[in-house]
Amino acid sequence: MLNISDNKIPDNVIKNVGYISIEKAKSPTVLTKFSRVLYTIMVIIFLMLFLPWTQNIRSNGVVTSFLPEDRPQTVNTIIPGKIEKWYVQEGQYVNKGDTIIHLSEVKDSYFDPQLLNRSQEQVAAKEQSLKSTRNKADALLKQINALEQANVLSIEKAKNKLRQAELKVQSDSMDMLAAKVDQSIAKEQLERQQALFEKGLKSLTELEQRKIKYQDATAKAISAENKFLASKNELLNARIELNSIQADYTDKIAKAQSDYNSTLAYAFDTEGAIAKMKNDLANYTIRSGNYYILAPKSGYVIKALKAGIGEIIKEGEAVVTIVDKNSVNAVELYVKTMDVPLLHKGAKVRLQFDGWPALVFSGWPGSSFGTFGGIIQVVDYVSTNGGKYRILVTPDPDDIPWPEQLRIGGGVYGWALLNDVPIWYEIWRQLNGFPPDWLGENEADTKVEKSIKEVDKKAEF
């Protein structure tokens, strides 16, 4: 009954006995099977801890455009105005330069419909005034040149007159000295004649003749002296006249130069006024061209930020948003600060787009399906999103093309493959918050390419 001997009781005998104690004394086969299954599972889990696991950097982001000019762009108005007419509607495709809105003026300074013509007339009138001022300046300059030439000639004439006066003074002084000598000689002869007359050697007639000669010599000496004094006065007058001519012409030239400088100053002021008027005219012309808001590029009008007719728009206010039709797609991913040193330009990334079915095993990239390849083009140097750093990813030309149905703003999930480690090491790293192991640029690119080839082989199979 206890099955302790070599002669065992057949099972059919035990079953036919029908004792409850014998039934309960049977070996627990169900529990034994469960234990074996449990042990097997534990062994499998333990062995799985030593399976290879590919470390990766995972992040979320959105679809965008790599080129700034291809991203959604808001069209702003340069001047304030009132909406008169809409030429587009939402969802419509517009070409570059197409009219979007027509505005009318709201500032009273620009209400005049003939503002441009009147501004042009003012510029023309001011230019004529400038021309006349220039002619006056030229005439004054000619007058200054004429005065300077006349001054030179007058001074030369006065100098010649002064030289003549100096020579005349010299000549008259010689004549005066000669007359003085003659007077002295005549006096001496008169005195000798007087002495001889008193001695009775000369007659009275001869004495009187000597007196007459002496008087003539005295008269000539006085006349020569007067002539000499007159010549000296003429010399003094010539010098005064020379100084007077110099002072007179200096005053005339200075006055003409003052008028010339005043005319030039007025001409310069007029030029400044003309430049300002031309600036205003150019501003009026440009402003009149801004009454029509044009599309800065070709694309679709996706959102009208203003509506209605007659609504007032402020200066610089957005009107509509335009998105390019053929934009170069890219992906913005935001990674943690701890993961930024592990990324570099040119590294390859796997992407999963929202709306496209995919089976992803981040630790086993070779077993993933429905993902697309990308290349990192930009890694920001400054955090921009809550302490995270932005990276820009563009399509990988060596991988399958991205879906054409992608729209800017759609969600995306991406990860970059790093080192292969055991699963137990990855669990330990995650629990302790340690960063992944860095492979280096060449090694990381080789690993990504190997994973892509594995995915392609499975897809072909």
SS (H, E, C) 163-205: HHHHHHHHHHHHHHHHHHHHHHHHHHHHHHHHHHHHHCCCCHH
Residue 444 pLDDT > 60, yes or no? no
The reply to whether 449 and 353 lie within a common domain is yes
Average pLDDT over residues 448-459: 47
State phi, psi for 61 to the nearest 5 degrees: -170, -165
**Residue 262 CA to its chain's centroid (Å):** 39
Judge whether 428 lies within some domain: no
**Range with the lowest mean pLDDT among 15-19, 189-193, 238-242, 433-437?**
15-19
The CATH number of residue 300's host domain is: 2.40.50.100
Final residue of a structural domain among 323, 345, 378: 323
Angle at 392 between CA 391 and CA 394, to 5 degrees: 145
If 0-12 CB within 10 Å is exposed, 13-18 middle and 19+ buried, where does residue 361 land?
A: exposed
28 and 89 part of one domain: no
pLDDT tier, 460 (very low <50, low <70, confident <90, very high otherwise)? very low
Q: Would you say residue 238 lies in a domain?
A: yes
Does pLDDT of 157 surpass 70?
A: yes
Residue 197 domain-assigned?
A: yes
C-alpha–C-alpha distance, residues 83 and 105, integer Å = 9
Range name among 13-17, 107-111, 113-117, 176-180 with the lowest pLDDT average: 13-17
Q: Look at residues 264, 289, 314 and tell me which one is the last residue of a structural domain.
A: 289
Q: Report whether pLDDT(451) > 50.
A: no
Name the region of 202 (left: φ>0; alpha: ψ -120 to 50; beta: rest): beta
d(CA 314, CA 356): 43
Top mean pLDDT of 41-45, 258-262, 315-319 is at 258-262
Residues 331, 336: Cα–Cα separation, whole Å: 16
180 with 241, same domain?
Answer: yes
The predicted pLDDT at position 448 comes to 46
Model pTM above 0.75? no
Domain boundary among 289, 314, 339: 289
- pLDDT of res. 269: 92
CA distances from 17 to 1, 12, 27 (A): 11, 9, 17
Amino acid found at 359: L
**Is the pLDDT confidence value at 107 over 80?**
yes
Average pLDDT over residues 264-289: 89
Residue 168, pLDDT score: 83
- 450 against 102, higher pLDDT: 102
Q: What is the mean pLDDT of the chain?
A: 79
Beta-strand ranges (E) seen in 66-213 are 73-76, 81-86, 93-94, 99-104
Measured CA to CA, the distance from residue 382 to residue 379 in angstroms comes to: 9
For the beta carbon of residue 296, count every other beta carbon within 10 angstroms.
15
From edge to edge, which strands make up the β-sheet containing 312-313? Answer: 292-294, 99-104, 81-86, 312-313
* Residue 110 belongs to some domain of the structure: no
Q: Do 274 and 152 reside in the same domain of the chain?
A: yes
Which of these, 357, 401, 348, 400, lies nearest to 375 by C-alpha position?
348
Helix (H) or strand (E) holding 133: helix 115-199
For residue 273, the surrounding DSSP H or E stretch is helix 204-289
Q: Which residue has the higher pLDDT, 218 or 461?
A: 218
What pLDDT does 275 receive?
92
Do 29 and 77 belong together in one domain? no
Q: Is the dihedral of CA 438, 443, 445, 451 positive or negative?
A: negative
Question: Picking from 128-137, 329-338, 350-359, which range would have the lowest pLDDT averaged per residue?
Answer: 350-359
Q: Is the pLDDT of residue 393 over 80?
A: yes
Q: Residues 183, 161: one domain?
A: yes
Contacts 24+ apart (CB under 8 A), 106-110: 106/80, 106/81, 106/82, 106/312, 107/80, 110/284, 110/287
Q: What is the DSSP string of 389-414?
A: EEEEEEE-TTSPPPPTT--TT-EEEE
Asked whether residue 381 carries a pLDDT value surpassing 80, the answer given is yes
129 and 263 assigned to the same domain: yes
**Overall average pLDDT of the 104-132 stretch:** 86
Residue 439 forms part of a structural domain:
yes
More confident call, 270 vs 70: 270
- Confidence check: pLDDT of 458 > 50: no
- 352 and 445 inside one domain: yes
Contact between 364 and 347 (Cβ < 8 Å): no
For residues 281 and 379, membership in a common domain is answered with no
Inside any domain, residue 183: yes
For residue 147, pLDDT over 80 is answered with yes
Phi then psi dihedrals of residue 299, to 5 deg: 165, -170
The better pLDDT of the pair 460, 323 is held by 323
Beta bridge partners of 301: 322
Looking at per-residue pLDDT, the higher value among 190 and 419 belongs to 190
Regarding whether 125 and 13 lie in a shared domain, the answer is no
The dihedral of CA 266, 271, 277, 279: what is its sign? negative
The domain spanning residue 386 has which CATH number? 2.40.30.170
Is the domain of 277 the same as that of 210?
A: yes
326 vs 376, residue with greater confidence: 376
For residues 183-203, give the mean pLDDT: 77
Confidence of residue 455 (pLDDT cuts 50, 70, 90): very low
Over residues 95-104, the pLDDT tens digits come to 888 999 999 8
How much is the average pLDDT of 47-55? 69
Whichever domain contains 224, its CATH number is 1.10.287
pLDDT at res. 345: 85
Same domain, 269 and 390: no
E strand segments, 217-357: 292-294, 299-304, 312-313, 318-323, 329-335, 348-353
pLDDT at residue 340 tops 70: yes
Phi, psi of 412 (to 5 degrees): -150, 150
Return the higher-pLDDT residue of 165 and 418.
165
Distances (CA, A) of 46 to 43, 103, 426: 5, 75, 14
Contact 165, 235 (CB under 8 A): yes
Overall number of domains in the chain: 4
- pLDDT of amino acid 461: 38
Per-residue pLDDT reduced to its tens digit, 10-30: 555 555 555 555 555 555 565
| pLDDT higher than 60, residue 70 | yes
Position 419 confidence tier, pLDDT thresholds 50, 70, 90: low
Per-residue tokens: 370: 């429905």
pLDDT, residue 23, reads 55
pLDDT surpasses 50 at 416: yes
* Cβ-based neighbours of 9, under 8 Å, separated by 6 or more: 1, 3
- Residue 430 located in a structural domain: no
Which range of residues forms the domain containing residue 191?
Answer: 115-289
For the chain, percent of residues with pLDDT exceeding 70: 80
